[in-house]
Structure 1
Amino acid sequence: MTGRRFDLAVPADIRFGAGRVAELPAALAALGTTRAYVVTGRSSERADALRAELAAAKIESAVFAVPGEPTIEICRAAVAGLRQAGCDGVVGFGGGSALDVAKAVAVLAPSGSDPLDHLEVIGAGRPIVRPGLPCVAVPTTAGTGSEVTRNAVLSGDGVKASLRSPLMLPRVAIVDPDLLAGVPRGTIAASGLDALAQVIEPLLSRRANPFTDALARDGIRRSARSLRTAYAEGMVEPRVREDLALASLFGGLCLANSSLGIVHGLAAALGARLSAPHGAVCAATLAAAVDVNGRALRARQPESPALDRLDELGTLLTGDPAARAAQAVDWLAALTRTLEVPGLRTYGLVDESVDAVVAAAQRASSTKGNPIDLTDREVSEIVHRAL
């Protein structure tokens, strides 16, 4: 049999647009939720207005704040909190960490299973077969696209690994660009470059398909025209907020339905070892990864279609029809400087740890989508250039 084959997994209900967070109470009620477990980022106070709207709609709520990158222990604590509160639905309201914990809690709480029962790599990896509680995902940053993905990344034993199942897709994703107003500049930079990586890597991925190609191309254009403005001026302009919210949403749909690459493989390897936010690692490694991938492809797979896509990336980023892969690398490096992305040494990475990071990145699930198998030396070069 010849011809292209691919599968698509997306939430049944994606709602995008300014002001649509107001639809959350009705969405929960339609799912049968009477008491919602609201999982937030570090500051749960940001959800106060949301919880007041739920109360006005006769939906009680309890709140759980995720203090940083999600870990196995944080996930266990969140599950225990939900059970104690007697909630029958989950809302993820925050960045990727909050949304990942919300998705994990929703699927683990009814079954009584432990994260390690299902975690890849460091756990038993058993399939998740029982549907979870209804989960509604409401992102307040534009980075991970976690509102439309079927996995949750947790750290444990110095490794980041995923709970993964189609049953983890949120029942409803509400993407309201107005929730991005007031996002700090550092978060704009890290999350914005994470989102950009999540549309660049699927475009280059060996698992790319027509669905993800279309979203990736549009997401790259939107990010390229708005990310600098957002960093310089804040999320003031509605068009900028919409561009970056869409780029993040498209990135989540792309990674869920094609794959990523070495940037996210390194993010998995480094995120569990350092106190660096996921987006900061992606931001630091992106330009070097695109450069090294291009060189490896030209040397070992000169007929690869990914080389044409690297040249196309130059045009998508710069808007110049004559731009090629070299201009894409230059553009990304310049953006990293403009957004004042710190090197990995800032987060404590030392030269002596690079070999272990490379080994872990080569084993990461994201790396399997890279357009070419990179050597350890090539991955090490990416890390050293990001120091």
Structure 2
Amino acid sequence: MIGSGFSFLRQPRVLFGPGRIDELPGLASLFGKRMLLVTGGRSLEESGMLQRLLGLCAGHGVRCDHARVTGEPSPEVVDGIVERFRAVGIAVVAGVGGGSVIDAAKAVSAMLLQEAPVERFIEGREGFLVHDGRKVPFIAAPTTAGTGSEATSNAVISRIGRDGFKRSLRHDAFVPDIALVDPVLHCSAPRNLTLSSGMDALTQLLEAYLSPSASPLSDCMAWSGLEYFARSFLPACGEGSDDVEVRAGMAYAALVSGIALANAGLGIVHGFASSIGGRIDIPHGELCATLLYTATRENISALQESDQGEAFLEKFSRAGCLLSGRSVAGTAAGCEALLEQLELWQEQLGFRRLREFGLERAEIEPVVAATRAKNNPVDLDNSALKTIVEERW
């Protein structure tokens, strides 16, 4: 693999550790004196952190404008924020929140210097334009451990409905200038959000690790993230939810999942995230959680029937031993350990089914027809794709 070469994208300047959020105003001042702060609903305000940041901004001579984003960003949400602030001279955009907030803020930073609406630049849309990469500097401070958007070059934009979509605004320049990762911000995340975000990070780590486009460098990142996920996920969802060290482990796993996916790509679960996520209002992490076991099982089954699947099966097996905490003999046993562990989490943690989010049975066929994943370790036929969705419907 090394002999054939690989590339690795630019990464943000990463500042990681408890209390680093207090550095945001000072970092913003390096870019200018007016910051647009994008946050989620009310949790940052209710915790007192919003007022703290505003006070720190004043101390650094930074004027702070504020915009809220609730739910996954749509083109209308992004365009609305851009229209409000395009002409006021924003020097830096900061996103403090979950993955949707980071994506929205990233898109706003990318569109403040553009005249056309964001939908014109979204991949796969009619009349798609190639973005020139000009943006306002961007700082990302995640409050959940999931998407890894603080380290990626894309912002996911969606419109929900029968003719909806969930696609990316993408350019190498959109990688945040600074990723400010403070695990203290994660301690207040409720269990259901911790669980779904964590399963998103796990899915990204596994899919990047198993990608045909993976390199030794992206594998190092993905494996390191899997190690921290394995030791931190269940404690973060339970008695360790307010343990900063536990939250730091999950924050790290999410961060490196973003780095790994940006350089290796993603597999079939994220293929479904696009085709299903544009049809129904389902949190991305919950979609990953409910599909990961069946998708992994179908991948392993197809690879076992392939003449060229052994290298991928060995990776699945290695991941199975790590995540299950079991030492087993042989590739097949390791793969089975992985499947057993994923199925156990699916049942014990109560991942909801797709029909609970409004997917109709009649929509399964068009979903399958629309699903693609160029970085899945094996080409799955429509029968396998249908099985994945039907079993979790």
TM range, smaller chain: over 0.9
Letter of the 1:111 partner, please give it: Q
Q: Distance in 1 between matches of 2:41 and 2:4?
A: 44
**Alignment deviations for residues 252-273 of structure 1 (CA, whole Å, 9 cap, x no partner):** 0011011110011111111111
Give the TM-score, by structure 2 length. 0.93
Letter of the 1:180 partner, please give it: H
Q: Distance in 1 between matches of 2:362 and 2:113?
A: 44
Check whether the contact 1:107–1:132 (CA below 8 A) recurs between aligned residues: yes
1:340 corresponds to which residue?
350
Which of 66, 69, 74 is matched with 1:71 structurally? 74
Give the TM-score, by structure 1 length. 0.95
1:25 corresponds to which residue?
25
2:34 corresponds to which residue?
35
Structure 2: segments with no counterpart, 5+ residues: none
Q: Distance in 2 between matches of 1:238 and 1:338?
A: 25
Q: Distance in 2 between matches of 1:303 and 1:374?
A: 13
Check whether the contact 1:141–1:191 (CA below 8 A) recurs between aligned residues: yes
Q: Distance in 1 between matches of 2:287 and 2:2?
A: 39
Equivalent residue of 2:180, what SS?
strand
Relative distance call for 1:109 and 1:123 in structure 2 (3 A) is farther
Equivalent residue of 1:324, what SS?
helix
Check whether the contact 2:12–2:151 (CA below 8 A) recurs between aligned residues: no
Counting only pairs closer than 5 Å after superposition, residues 186-205 of structure 1 correspond to structure 2 as 186-205=192-211
Which of 158, 167, 174 is matched with 2:180 structurally? 174
Aligned residues: 382
Relative distance call for 1:319 and 1:2 in structure 2 (3 A) is closer
Relative distance call for 1:307 and 1:2 in structure 2 (3 A) is closer
In the TM superposition, residue 49 of structure 1 has moved relative to its aligned partner by: 2.4
Q: Does 1:307 align with 2:306?
A: no
Which of 355, 359, 365 is matched with 1:349 structurally? 359
Q: Which moved more, 1:372-381 or 1:52-61?
A: 52-61
Equivalent residue of 2:124, what SS?
coil
Q: Distance in 2 between matches of 1:280 and 1:12?
A: 27
**Alignment deviations for residues 36-59 of structure 1 (CA, whole Å, 9 cap, x no partner):** 111112226253322222122211
Letter of the 2:346 partner, please give it: T
Q: Distance in 1 between matches of 2:312 and 2:127?
A: 35
1:126 corresponds to which residue?
129
Check whether the contact 1:62–1:85 (CA below 8 A) recurs between aligned residues: no
User: Which runs of 4 or more aligned residues in structure 1 lie more than 6 Å from their structure 2 counterparts after TM superposition?
Assistant: none
Which of 299, 302, 317 is matched with 1:296 structurally? 302
Q: How large is the RMSD of aligned CA atoms in angstroms?
A: 1.7
Letter of the 1:30 partner, please give it: L
Equivalent residue of 2:374, what SS?
helix
Check whether the contact 2:29–2:61 (CA below 8 A) recurs between aligned residues: no
Check whether the contact 1:217–1:316 (CA below 8 A) recurs between aligned residues: no
2:148 corresponds to which residue?
145
1:58 corresponds to which residue?
61
Q: Does 1:325 align with 2:335?
A: yes
Question: Among the aligned pairs, what percent are the same residue?
Answer: 36
**Alignment deviations for residues 147-202 of structure 1 (CA, whole Å, 9 cap, x no partner):** 01000111134111111101111111111111101101110111000001110111
Q: Distance in 1 between matches of 2:220 and 2:291?
A: 24
In the TM superposition, residue 11 of structure 1 has moved relative to its aligned partner by: 2.8
Relative distance call for 1:130 and 1:243 in structure 2 (3 A) is closer
